[in-house]
Structure 1
């Protein structure tokens, strides 16, 4: 995120590089930088003749070079944006010759999503040598996304409760684009200064604050069998919104962390949060669950979850409904 801020800050100051090669597994930041350049580098009057957007599936590297070597018309520079350039992955290294001697009046943006170029090869070296930018957008781990949500909202004068943030992560995963879209919806209906709560998430996004994987995990850890079975019954009635594969995966992650907790010598809350890579807000949940699930039982549950992961994907399950499998899983966990 700091690299993104620096790139945008440099652009605002007029420190514009000849090439921006934006690559990596996380498309959110690639789109954010590319969109900023598309909207802000040229004035509206200049864009008509001097800004073009091309798509990798429709062009060749030779086409990119040909367009990049054009001179701007009645403007200081032109902007050439190549979207979905990963479609040119087999030939992208041919861009090295241009990158070694780029047109000084052209700003070339290459969006290379879900892939990255080999930093040992000519293209990367040529871009760096000629003063261009190679930005790698790395996928965030699940335990990093809640902090990302908090930082994004903080910059826009909002806060969010740990539970609400966790609900978003569990429902939307690590797709920053999807999460940002939902945050934008919330900002439309909630005034600045609001702390986004679980109730807001339920009302405006449609994720149940009572019947979700976060609450299921919490109920299991507290040995609250009644609540756990209510939640899995709800999941069974709404399988499309609550796929079993996601539930089993999240429970597997929880019990794996619980196993890690049992192995810690230092169980100081700060060390637990750091070692398990969790929000300090949730530490007490793990402390309570560890009392109810000794290490041996945790190991058994991890093994059981592996079994149900396979069965949930249709192996040796004889078309058993998801709801019935989840009920059986609860029985095994609580036994």
Structure 2
């Protein structure tokens, strides 16, 4: 099949704010945050409040057929330039292919929004190319862990607040890639900030989100990067005494990503240059390369390969493979000891 048009969340929102509307938006994917943001913006802004009673319809996929959606989309607006039809949980619609006939000649006065969460359409289907010809098909993908700090920074900057890199990483590590939960926690921070100081600091994160500014995965990673045995043991003791503060399942991906990138950094042709290492690792800026510069001073390439192997072994044991009774906390202590010695 032909390549679909490339569309982005920012591009869609830019057109919507300019009041450039497509006759259909098929929003699909595993990240509900962007699907909800687009659908909510359309629901709130395309029509004036007084137009919505007669011209805005919301369906749920499990309660409606494709034929009923087509009937609604073919209606003409009443005392309004447009009508909006929003279908939530579109993944539950039976016989979605029945929409295809409507897509050959959609009404320009209808804005049809299909919200398909936790999955995507089979892109080989005819309906996908039909939507792409006349409207917008958008796949909302989960953010990678490395993309969370810039997302946090951008979100807060858009709300008139700033945040330091350490606080970004603490929040990213503690919340993870669930953007709905992440945004909820960021809103808590925004509410708690005084009007005369719109900065997110580790102290504010500790106070509002409950993540210790001194004992967290960011600080553990820092201790390992700098081979600070005392600090690493302090943090591990804290986690041992406060199981809710962190678990092996959160630390292992963080450690694996760091040492995997560190091994790649050894192959950089100019590994003494932070700028070149950042470019080699596809990092956001040279500042982000400093931990890898430090890591190459503190760990040999052979040791890094051994650490990666040990992390994989620990991951398997944490899931019960060849491990009859060692608790996760003990596995983590053994791993940290191996890394640092």
Whether the TM-score (by the shorter chain) exceeds 0.5 is yes
Gaps of at least 5 residues in structure 2 are 1-5
Asked if 1:314 is matched to 2:314, the reply is no
User: Does the CA-based 8 Å contact 2:28-2:138 persist in structure 1?
Assistant: yes
C-alpha distance after superposition, 1:67-122 (max 9, x if no partner): 2223333333221101111223x632332111112233321100122333344432
Asked if 1:163 is matched to 2:162, the reply is no
C-alpha distance after superposition, 1:213-249 (max 9, x if no partner): 1111111122211211121222223334412122112
CA 1:71 to 1:24, structure 2 compared with 1: closer, same or farther past 3 Å?
A: same
Aligned counterpart in structure 1 of residue 184 of structure 2, from 161, 181, 189: 181
User: Does the CA-based 8 Å contact 1:55-1:84 persist in structure 2?
Assistant: yes
Q: Distance in 1 between matches of 2:196 and 2:155?
A: 13
CA 1:181 to 1:192, structure 2 compared with 1: closer, same or farther past 3 Å?
A: farther
TM-score by length of 1: 0.91
Gaps of at least 5 residues in structure 1 are none
C-alpha distance after superposition, 1:105-149 (max 9, x if no partner): 32110012233334443212322333x222222333222222222
Q: Distance in 1 between matches of 2:21 and 2:98?
A: 23
User: Does the CA-based 8 Å contact 1:68-1:106 persist in structure 2?
Assistant: yes
CA shift, 1:33, in A, is 0.8
Asked if 1:251 is matched to 2:255, the reply is yes
List aligned pairs for 1:1-12, cutoff 5 A.
3-12=8-17
CA shift, 1:176, in A, is 2.4
Provide the secondary structure at the position in 2 that maps to 1:135: strand
Aligned to 2:222: 218
Q: Distance in 1 between matches of 2:19 and 2:218?
A: 46
Aligned to 1:52: 57
Paired residues, what number? Answer: 333
Provide the secondary structure at the position in 2 that maps to 1:23: strand
RMSD: 2.2
Aligned to 1:299: 305
Asked if 1:42 is matched to 2:38, the reply is no
Provide the secondary structure at the position in 2 that maps to 1:217: helix
Aligned to 1:66: 71
CA shift, 1:287, in A, is 1.8
TM-score by length of 2: 0.90
Pick which of 46-55 and 132-141 moved more: 132-141
Q: Distance in 2 between matches of 1:79 and 1:203?
A: 43
Q: Distance in 2 between matches of 1:69 and 1:209?
A: 56
Asked if 1:28 is matched to 2:28, the reply is no
Which portions of structure 1, spanning 4 or more consecutive aligned residues, are displaced by more than 6 angstroms?
A: none
